[in-house]
Structure 1
């Protein structure tokens, strides 16, 4: 969330910049400033009366020693009165802090100045298109949901029997290709300097709050109510929360971490070609990269993460384009996001396969993720970034569709050492 200091010092900027995200912040900002001013004045009263009570407490002992019992008793009565006042003021202060926290989480992150205007994904800015290798498949081309049946590599009906719609079962070469992609992404991440972790796929409320999924996006997540835990929508949540309530050394930045996890999302659709097959699932596999960065270097880090994802899709031989998300499409917590889309030749459409984002200090403020240098008097908020590197299902869909031939589906050369086969037939 935005810091109180930033909101107080940049009131008009906050209101104007959040209009880019199609968010009317004026009333919320006014409430925050009013509550913060009330908090400060109430805290000042508490401090003043606490100081007075401390002075009186010292004075009482001296008065009794001097034999001035009557004056001492008057001071004791005043002390009791101050104690009750302080108790009442602290109750008021807690109420103000609760209201302030509730208002602060309503404000989205400030979009970076380069975020374009726009209302939806149709207004996203195309930064780069690499489509020279879009294949000419001809009239007999099949979408991936037909190919997986033809070669018996993914079974949606069996997944529905076991769990429900949106939970496919990968079989034989389909399962091996899935595993090959995961291992390829992890190996490439290791080459790029990312430290691999294998985190829990269930998280608590504090973790969901830290990265911005809670309190208002719980409807998108599977909730294990008996233990009040949530199945992760992305490894961003557990990996970023490794650094919750931590102060890291400035010289250790950037901290580069990656994880493979299954991901779970309740909002997956169940109708229409755009959500058919692997296009949208309730459960899917993904490799996530996360960086904890020095604020002065986070956009340099973002460029590096974008380049890393671009390297992956290039090595897979997939046509792709890079988009800068507009204000109406960027997430609540992000300052700047780039999306990668690959072209799915049988569907004849672009499929989003990665989002790479800089959250600046928005998540770090919720997480209390800070850094401290040798010459710094106190810790400061770090910047957090993350990106899909990559989400498997749509990459798999594009590989199946783009590489179909009369003899079967050709496996990208870079994956053959991982699969142990070069064709699905």
Structure 2
């Protein structure tokens, strides 16, 4: 386990923070200076004025993402404010660069006014190729993302919602295959009714889950029709017509449990009443809704995963956002649509079935992984994720008409492999 002392030293030394800006062109002579700034810089400015799309040709816009937060829902820390959330946003930038060679500026906004956030982000569109919204509390996050997607012409993606949905979706697809279940017939219980839970439920429907088979629970229990008037419009999308009330009631006969709430909410007695060969993904961090060991001890027939790296089948968002943006940026996508998210999920699910390679074993102390109960989603340090997922997202963007750059898909995979060699 990482200690507090280690974490603070890591962030403070040898220089504060985790990100820096480095020039991509040399500036060592008078001629270099004249090219980098005045007078040489005027020529690309004038070209972009005449042909706005040339901003992708002469600037870093095509590989630059803004990670934007107001610090109102930071990890398990809650509303800690913009400045206190900055280490997380810098960390996000590290992962973008390390895993997908995407450059990031982290931008922390000291406001909780959704309309002010929208106005600020919209005004920054000329600078960025994409917007990653991060750690903005519900329900404001839904309104902010929905509005920005409609009003901006670059991808806007709230990772807290869609990242978890995309990665857990891949895990569920493969878990159903391993456990010999038909996803369309599975009863799914989701503990939590926030941003991630709502997005997961919608994404699972896109993967084949029936709406009536989803039972979502908040602090008061199942979202039922009898509670309709007390629920906001977001939660009302997933009210169930049932006499059952509690999370324990919902888990009776359930095939799949998804935990996006708080630690310790699920007991061994609850999971004993689930269906045969249950699938459980308690993803609350750092303490899951029920510990992995308790699941396996109580239900040896279960397939389980968590949000933690010290257990099998970790649902880790780093398997999503770097590569989703890589594919979207490479085709100058105007948005990240439903089809691109589904493509990302299926790419991850398919990759998990491929034989393990030496690079993965080396990254995980020689451990060998093969498709089955303990391995239904790829590992973050599997270099093939970069190629498989980025390609799938780019292909889906082209296929659905949101790509503005024509690329040769037959050679794009090779280009990704070449780029991977320099990351």
TM exceeds 0.5?
A: no
Q: Which has the higher contact order (CA 8 A, sep 6+)?
A: 1
TM-score (norm 2): 0.22
TM-score (norm 1): 0.22
Higher strand residue share: 1
Computing the radius of gyration from Cα coordinates, the structure with the larger value is 1
